[in-house]
Amino acid sequence: MLAKGRKLAGRGEEMSTHYAFGPQEDDAIIKHRLLTRTTTTRGEPPLKKLQKKFMSFATEIEKDADNLSDCERLCKAFLQEINTFELPLLKSKVVVDANIREKESFNELRVEIERQILQAQTDIEDLKKQLVQSKIERQHKEECEAIRKLISLQPPRSETERLIADLEKEIADLEAENVACVRTLELRKKQFALLLHVVEELQISIEDEQKSIADELRAVAEEQKMSIEESSGGASDAMAVD
């Protein structure tokens, strides 16, 4: 048989395998040994033994001497050797047929395994897609749950609507108050403008009156001055007469 190096594994390490022959040479040697029924064990090869038996039988037949018993003996030995040589061949044929059937079974199994591998790859791709979809759905569920929690923290809808109605009423009141304030402010502006106008006219009237009074006082003062001057002139004339 083919001399091969043994694989030695120790502490997680594996030594490389060395072959005395290549794979093709190994197959050729095994095929030749099966056909010739030769082995590496000691002893004469069966085919050579069969050849020797045949040559001995043929040589004995070709002799002219009376050797019928020897021929029968050699013939029986040759037939026995044929049977001995044929039996391993039949066994080898059975083994070969079994190997062929096993190879066919292995081929079918390989085809089935390849089909299962392709199916498994398809299933894996489908499962990947389902996993992505499941992650998306889970994310949506988590978001919905977070929104639900936020909604649960809010007051009831009736209370919210009541608060909205109160706020709308308050806004309407504020708007009405704002309109009233605007109107009041406009009225106050008009009243203040009128007051300023009246004050201005009053101030003008007071200034005119003060001017008139001053003119009257000035006229009275001039009249008094003239009266005094006239009185002083008459007294002087009287003293001169005296």
3-state secondary structure (DSSP) of residue 201: helix
Compute CA 102 distance to the chain's CA centroid, rounded to the nearest angstrom. Answer: 48
For 54-102, the DSSP string reads HHHHHHHHH--SS-HHHHHHHHHHHHHHHHHHHHHHHHHHHHHHHHHHH
Distance CA(12)–CA(14), nearest Å, equals 7
pLDDT tens, per residue, the chain with 242 residues: 333 333 444 444 444 444 555 666 766 766 666 555 555 445 566 677 777 777 877 777 777 667 777 777 877 887 887 777 777 778 888 888 999 999 999 999 999 999 999 999 999 999 999 999 999 999 999 999 999 888 888 878 888 888 899 999 999 999 999 999 999 999 988 888 888 888 888 888 888 888 888 888 888 888 888 888 777 766 565 555 55
